[in-house]
Structure 1
């Protein structure tokens, strides 16, 4: 029997939701503070996914000026994608403005509509269900302001976004904390209500209930949870926040989030990733996910028509008129902070007053780290004219936790610096004088360390320093995202007068050599 490997979409792609149209599958994931928002993928086999673009591509759809302190993840939480009557719908919550909404499009590549805000809704994690009788239901969480904790539901006018009924508590879950991420399905004569519980950490799980009515009462599956890797040594942990889909051949599948911790360390840095598990139905009419409720790194592909892997987009020479879908800004970009047209074939970044330490929109173009073992390299042309101006390559988790190798002027001398920020501690870990107009900056990652290098074009790379991966893990840095490799520029308090030019960015996947605990322990000495 052919097999496939998890994660099917590696790196920071949490809260996956999927729908099928004919023989095509479409999937979306949370994007939090990053812009454009909600990456959208296409697949023919549920295993090999190609990113089409993003759902939210305009600031009018996705304002990201949040109110919470730095280090907290805001923006887009838990989108759900559904297809109905010739239209795709994506419902979600923008935590930055504390509002839930949905958008629609006639094709998944867009353009997508302006947000239709769900006035009077109050909860998060909205999910749409289109019933056979023409009714539309909106299902989500409590509003966290005194309501009983659980899953709430109301009938919705899909044309206007107006609620046609009061919000009603329909299920309180099985007793796990934070019941969230609900989805309602009609399968045969039953309405199935699936939700995540236990918080999106190591106690995460997926549970399910059913009823003859969309409002219940809902009967809990006696075998709950239907998916959880908690209290196991399995390499995928924190499994949950799932969505069910039926393939054209009648087989059932489940997409879900999970993490891959560093060996025995209960820390992860790549973020919550998208995984896939087969689903069978038992004699009592309940779904059984994966290996009797647990998820593996490798599963049988069953009858899925496995195609060829999608080509890895290793190198970007910035020759296109638009950035490729793999790239993101951190929050809404300042329009004049970046350009692909100012110097054709190069990415131009103009440093803003905002730095990587600030709550704002730095000149930042980044892509997710998606592999434990990898290399990222860029060629930078930048000769800062004033103190405080810098540009370089960052390994970025959030404003309080990041490393960067950068070109800067210090006391009138042109230098390359390696800076590490860990919480309130900021350290220039290494520096070297550098006079050439261009420099190749690189970082090599494994489970334990980021190693930063520099080179003049045509010369071998030199190591400038290292930084531990542990300090950029979610368990240390907080938030709900994963690490990004980012090209950035800043004036550190004022706009920079000198533009930074990036000729290319190259992300190379290295052999996946996972370390065992004793190896990590010995290297940590």
Structure 2
């Protein structure tokens, strides 16, 4: 799908970036970041759960400006998430470089693939089909090599199979044969944090005389934290940092909450930083985060006695307005890496014909595990998304999806006297609809999302407006389509869909910016 127009404008209402780092570093649904520096270039990957293509790859030369250059799982069989429920699928990848190859190791939950390692000579792809690793029963795997080339996988031992399925056994580690796809020993328990729940997201580093084990604990919600231990061997024993947790927003009135799941990296000036996940909350109560878990960055220093000290995560969003227009005229392609589909590949659902993006409905809507839906991540708290739709031969529209039970949108279909437009809000099985009849098809459908207006933002829900040809059908409280309410691991994905018949879309437009409105 061609990105025909992408521009920035200075008229944004957001405050200027004053932090050393823009935060969020990679906005929108981009949780569980892992980063590697190779020959002056940074590569970063994040989780995708039930969406395909899986595992986006971002590239930067300065840790500031990032380009989405590809995806690890371009083919459904690489991750096999077609039967993975929401909150399952592609969990927490780690990207590393060794002996001329990039490696991404990941656990695909509720998939026959399990723990799998992908390799590529170029992170933009193509990536290998992946080698499953037998003997690694857990999530959030890390990959590290010692000086003699021995490979270690360190992971969070949440059992995914067998008699102990669902039980958590802390942080474990095994030596592995990557070529043979198997563990070389029984798992050994490692340091599992300070006693907070869900020790996970381990990463192992060599610095000087010590190996450092960085983990997340406290759960990926408001209690999330980063803790660290060290030892003289990659297998331990490890001694915890006396000042653990190294970083947490728990119990503090900070604009970025849920901070954790960190990976460490050298900066271009030779200092250190950590990339980590967090959420931007709205309202005085800081209770709701509409964009889900995003990628953030903060500085890291080392004390004289060799312990890391993390700086607080500062919110410093880029002030520019992002305007992106995808048109589907002759010569357009379906190759932009930012498009997503649910348990399917966008190219398998969408085709380009006569200057239109065409979707063929299967008689199911967004409540289905595999809807005919192609969308993109919402990246800004202020966002307007629109699409022009021709439903003379079908029914479909524009929607924002959290999961099968939490979504909203506007659907059009031809009816008596014109085009019947239905605005729909679905929350945990509850459904409300508003209807309007317009004279003809095509129609422009639009979703507007805005933070709560001052001076009364206490409830924390953004305002969501659903419009057709400029006419307002419904205004919704966005609290009900957030990470906290839907309990999903993903953020909002906004896109076009077909419920039945043939639906044609003329374009897809996204405008996003930061800042909070001063009036309703």
TM-score (norm 2): 0.89
Do 2:216 and 2:260's aligned partners in 1 also have CA atoms closer than 8 Å?
Answer: yes
Matches within 5 A, 1:101-112: 101-112=116-127
Number of the residue aligned with 1:404: 409
Report the CA distance shift for 1:102/1:487 in structure 2 as closer, same or farther (over 3 A): same
Q: Deviations over 1:39-64 (max 9, x none)?
A: 11000111211100111000110211
Q: Deviations over 1:190-212 (max 9, x none)?
A: 01001000000001000000001
Do 2:230 and 2:239's aligned partners in 1 also have CA atoms closer than 8 Å?
Answer: yes
Number of the residue aligned with 1:444: 448
| Aligned with residue 419 of structure 1, among 424, 432, 438 | 424
Matches within 5 A, 1:122-271: 122-144=137-159, 145=164, 149-265=169-285, 266-271=287-292
| Aligned with residue 475 of structure 2, among 462, 466, 469 | 466
Do 2:417 and 2:439's aligned partners in 1 also have CA atoms closer than 8 Å?
Answer: no
The question of 1:513 aligning with 2:512 is answered no
SS at match of 2:175: strand
Number of the residue aligned with 1:357: 367
Structure of greater relative contact order (alpha carbons < 8 Å, 6+ residues apart): 2
SS at match of 1:270: coil
User: How far did 1:121 drift?
Assistant: 1.2
SS at match of 2:484: helix
Q: Deviations over 1:61-91 (max 9, x none)?
A: 02112254xxx32210000000111110000
SS at match of 2:228: strand
Q: Deviations over 1:368-407 (max 9, x none)?
A: 11111111111111214xxxx5210002111111111110
Q: Going by fraction, where is strand more abundant, 1 or 2?
A: 2
Do 1:47 and 1:276's aligned partners in 2 also have CA atoms closer than 8 Å?
Answer: no
Number of the residue aligned with 1:329: 341
User: How far did 1:345 drift?
Assistant: 2.9
Number of the residue aligned with 1:279: 300
Number of the residue aligned with 2:507: 504
Distance in 1 (alpha carbons) for counterparts of 2:425 and 2:404: 12
Distance in 1 (alpha carbons) for counterparts of 2:70 and 2:386: 24
Do 2:319 and 2:514's aligned partners in 1 also have CA atoms closer than 8 Å?
Answer: no
Number of the residue aligned with 2:5: none
Do 2:52 and 2:346's aligned partners in 1 also have CA atoms closer than 8 Å?
Answer: no
SS at match of 1:471: helix
Do 1:149 and 1:178's aligned partners in 2 also have CA atoms closer than 8 Å?
Answer: no
Report the CA distance shift for 1:298/1:474 in structure 2 as closer, same or farther (over 3 A): closer
Number of the residue aligned with 1:47: 64
User: How far did 1:353 drift?
Assistant: 2.9
Where structure 1 has 5 or more consecutive residues not aligned to the other structure, the ranges are: 300-307, 456-460
Number of the residue aligned with 2:9: none
TM-score (norm 1): 0.88
Where structure 2 has 5 or more consecutive residues not aligned to the other structure, the ranges are: 1-17, 452-461
Q: Deviations over 1:89-145 (max 9, x none)?
A: 000011131611110000011110012101121111111002222111111011432
SS at match of 2:140: coil
SS at match of 1:142: strand
Number of the residue aligned with 1:85: 99
User: How far did 1:284 drift?
Assistant: 1.6
User: How far did 1:5 drift?
Assistant: 2.5
Do 2:21 and 2:298's aligned partners in 1 also have CA atoms closer than 8 Å?
Answer: no
Number of the residue aligned with 1:373: 382
Do 1:400 and 1:421's aligned partners in 2 also have CA atoms closer than 8 Å?
Answer: yes
Number of the residue aligned with 2:115: 100
User: How far did 1:251 drift?
Assistant: 1.1
Do 2:322 and 2:511's aligned partners in 1 also have CA atoms closer than 8 Å?
Answer: no
Do 2:168 and 2:198's aligned partners in 1 also have CA atoms closer than 8 Å?
Answer: no
Number of the residue aligned with 1:475: 484
Aligned-residue Cα RMSD (Å) equals: 2.2
Paired residues in the alignment total 484
